[in-house]
Chains A and B, each alone.
Chain A
Amino acid sequence: MVSNEDEIIRKRQRERARIMGLLLGGFVILLFFITVAKIGINW
């Protein structure tokens, strides 16, 4: 029973870590484009 629950926990942690990684990666790319746009406006 416990090992089954352990498995569920690990699976959820893995999924959340993967999604968090994708979101952080996307955020970094977004920040890059925001910066470029801001520089463009100020020129």
Chain B
Amino acid sequence: MPATLMTNAAALPADWRDLLALTKPRVMSLVVFSGLAGMLAAPQLPPLALGFTAILCIALGAGGCGALNQWYEADIDAKMRRTAKRPLPAGRMERQTALHFGVGLSVFSVVLMGLATNWLAAALLAASILFYVLVYTVWLKPRTAQNIVIGGAAGAFPPLIGWVAATGRIEALPVILFAIIFLWTPPHFWALSLFVRSDYAAAGIPMLPVVAGVRSTRRQIFLYSLPMAAAAVVPWLLRLTGPIYGVSAAIFSLVFVVLAGRVLVNRATDPNGMGFEKHLFAYSVFYLFALFTALVADRWIAW
């Protein structure tokens, strides 16, 4: 190979670790968990091989989304400290490799989902991928402070997909699970965006703290946590789940609202004084894991 081609790392074949990093494995873990919980909460389970394949497809679809997101946002990622070391902004990979990898993973996940489970689940998976990439990443994120509110729908699909992969039907409970994640996304992301807002401002992303200010964002976090908490206990009130889920959801949600309340009264504008925001962000991740664990426990212990 001529030495002139070797002037930067991107000209080398991509390292497999960088390809793996494109899939955002940490985000994928939450997606896989909520998809698995949606499947395990369903009234009937598919055979093990088909259930495993469905979760694998959800993981691959999420990985494809992550790769396409990083392909599209490589320039923006380069301007933010939090993302500057990713494979594309760090120059360790050609941009086209990420595009091919992302499209390949996405198409493969949808086709395999359709062949292994049912085409309704495959259609939902395709819709979630297209929504995340086209509606959220390309359209909303660079344009409006409401990006995460509407774009949150993309991350809300996995439990619905898991349920439909198991049953072939869309029913009330998975739609409520969709609503819970949809309403959880704004306070989760806004808590993060409060203490990394200088990054978003530098990259020109109109996140709420950048556009509307810190105080308004804190108010929005608290206000969104209320319907989220209400949605979390709705499955119990509608008798779609038992008391194990209901009581757990009520307690976990109450703690969420209290932590959001602490954020509301915080007056710090410097990230160093945003301990409450960091607590809420960390708790919000735990909250979703705990809520869906309670859902599955309720389904398997109580029924």
Contacts and interface: CB of A to CB of B under 8 A. Distances in A.
A9 B11 CA distance: 10
B16 interface: yes
A12 B50 contact: no
Given A33-B49, A34-B49, A37-B47, A16 B1 contact: no
Contact of B49 (A1, A6, A13, A36): A36
B47 A16 contact: no
A35 to B, nearest CB: 9
Given A34-B53, A41-B47, A2 B6 contact: yes
Most interface-central of B13, B46, B115 (chain A CB within 10 A): B13
Report the interface size class on chain A.
10 to 19
Contact of A12 (B6, B13, B53, B56): B13
Interface in B111-142: 115-116
B56 to A, nearest CB: 8
B50 A37 contact: yes
Interface string A1-27: 110011011001101100100000000
Contacts of B116: 34, 38
8 contacts: A15-B16, A16-B13, A19-B16, A30-B52, A37-B46, A37-B47, A37-B49, A41-B47
7 A-B pairs with least C-beta separation: A33-B49, A37-B47, A37-B49, A5-B6, A12-B13, A2-B3, A34-B116
Given A34-B116, A37-B48, A37-B49, 12 more contacts: A2-B1, A2-B6, A5-B12, A12-B14, A12-B15, A13-B13, A15-B16, A34-B49, A37-B46, A37-B50, A40-B47, A41-B47
